[in-house]
Amino acid sequence: MRKRSSSGTPSSPSSSEASVFVVSDGESEAFDPSGASESSPEPEAVSEPESEPRGAKRKRAAPTPKGKGKAKAEIIDIEDLGSSVHRPHARGYHSTAAVAGAQDALLDWFEGVRDARGMPWRKRYDAALSMDAKGQRAYEIWVSEVMLQQTQVATVIPFWTSWIARWPTIGDLATADVEEVNAAWRGLGYYRRARSLLDGAKAVAGKKSFGGRLPDDPDVLEKEIPGVGRYTAGAITSMAYGVRAPIVDGNVHRVLSRLLALHAPQTAPATIRFLWDAATVLVDALPRGQGRGIAGDWNQALMELGATVCRPTAPECGACPLEQVCKARAELQAPPPPPATPTCDLCAPIPAPDGAETIPSVTVFPMKKEKKASREEHEAVCVTEWRGPEGPKWLFTKRPEKGLLAGLYEPPSTPVAASSSDKDKLAASLATLADLLDSHEVTSHVTHTPVPHIFSHINMTYHVQHAVLESDEPPTLKSDRAAWLDADDVAAANVGTGVKKVWAGVYGAWGRFAAGKGVKPAPQKAKPKAKPRAKDTPKGRGLTQTKLSLAGPKVKAE
């Protein structure tokens, strides 16, 4: 029998907040204990804000267990229900001692499933490898961890394989540019992740003390490499270098919450600190004579358990190697014993709609998060097509390198108010074109049906215009972020899903370049008036609306 080090309840919260839960901007998408274990949203149909709160990011609330009624997206108000499960307990009830005593069971289970999902980056730790070879493993694990944020394993495998074939080492990646990595990332969504890998590789290449590899110290890795937070640092160093570093991602958060029956606000600093402390205690409790790779195996085992067995909904408790030490499972039969010490200062009441004396399902752990309403945004988008002797070309602009959909290409777009009239939206598009092009007349124009698109926290509506310009030469560009692209360039451009939807609204499908049957403009309430008066001219744009008028004598309907 292996000798275990002592373990117990994680320490109480300290006064410091800095080390509670450090999540990189990229990691925040991966941390969601109540969402799907490996969520795979529609590629690129998610927002990529410049920065994220350093905490868990909501995907969706876990559905109510079978037979318990329709799922609620928000936390149930205990006062409205009038009752909650009676489970008085002390903080010591959440001790990790029982789990530490069953670590062999989880490690043995992991040995049987280690290769079940065919992940090429999952390799056994080899202490005999040189530091350079371990650094190569660290690079491969890092790429996989970033790709797996918000994306399923089956989807990631071919992308990871292609990425490693193109940039076999971190040094090779450091020589790439953002256009190349975005092109390689196309189809995965969350393009900020690709930029994070590129920036991290350049940081490694730019510091001689790193020796061309990711650091083997998790604190240095987290501090020095852009986009690496505490979770990714722990994953890389434990799996590649054999460091006893804990991890807490969405899967581990959910598994520990159930094993310890912790029903506390998911993103509260005290909750996150407690779970990191628990993860640290468990890593430290691993036997010392089993080789340095045991910490990486333990961390992978916890994640694999959360991904395949201890799922957000429909968990397979009967197949869990830790079922006998799971406090959530035990509470299906009876509540915890009354405390002899003060009650737990972490847990919130568990709703009991039917006056139940025990929990209805282990899926009440972790505590559900309140749904936050997505904000509404509107943009006027002008698909601008030039027709001339060289063949058609389309005007595209490149988004800023930081922020929503960073570095991607799109037709000229500008934010507009939801309440703005069609005339105001058209004027906004004209003003945007005037900022991008020297004076030129629009020869035909069509307003298309608005296109809705959902990001992770934004409900976007694109108000689509299709403008055609005709001349011997494409109009001169006034911005270095704008470009005229031919059909091949458009097809190869790095664009988001929203742009593809807009394009399909104009031409029938992404990859088509002429309107086909079934593509209809939006219904027009009234015909355009004659040439706009001077007071309608946008101010400070360098072009008069007369020159870009969509209603003057040179305008013809498509």
Active site residues: 145
Instruction: Answer yes or no: are the C-beta atoms of 286 and 238 closer than 8 Å.
Output: no
The H or E element that residue 302 is part of is helix 294-308
Q: Which pair of structure tokens corresponds to residue 131?
A: 């530091």
Give the integer Cα–Cα distance in Å for 558 and 555: 9
Q: Which pair of structure tokens corresponds to residue 235?
A: 């994953």
Q: Which pair of structure tokens corresponds to residue 37?
A: 């274990």
Identity of residue 107:
L
Q: 446: which strand partners?
A: 466
Give the integer Cα–Cα distance in Å for 117 and 120: 9
Give the integer Cα–Cα distance in Å for 234 and 257: 19
Q: Which residues contact 72 (CB under 8 A, 6 or more apart)?
A: 61, 64, 368
How far does the chain reach from its first CA to its final CA, in angstroms? 81
The residue to which tokens 């901007």 are assigned: 25
The residue to which tokens 């001689």 are assigned: 208
The residue to which tokens 């069971």 are assigned: 105
**Taking the CB of residue 56, how many other CB atoms lie within 10 A of it?**
28
CA-to-CA dists, residue 112 to 235, 302, 350, 430, angstroms = 21, 14, 36, 63
Neighbour-count burial for 345-371, b at 16+ CB within 10 Å, e otherwise: ebbeebbbeeeeeebbbbbbbbbbbee
**Taking the CB of residue 240, how many other CB atoms lie within 10 A of it?**
26
Give the integer Cα–Cα distance in Å for 226 and 221: 9
DSSP-derived secondary structure for 7-24:
--SPPPPPS--TTS----
Please return the burial class of 42, using the count of CB atoms within 10 Å of its CB with bins 0-12, 13-18 and 19+.
exposed
DSSP-derived secondary structure for 48-60:
--S---SS-----
Give the integer Cα–Cα distance in Å for 508 and 466: 13
Q: 387: which strand partners?
A: 470
CA-to-CA dists, residue 192 to 29, 197, 222, 228, 379, angstroms = 11, 9, 18, 13, 22
Q: Three-class SS of residue 357?
A: coil
* Total residue count of the chain as it appears in this document: 558
Please return the burial class of 177, using the count of CB atoms within 10 Å of its CB with bins 0-12, 13-18 and 19+.
exposed
Backbone angles phi, psi at 230, to 5 degrees: -65, -40
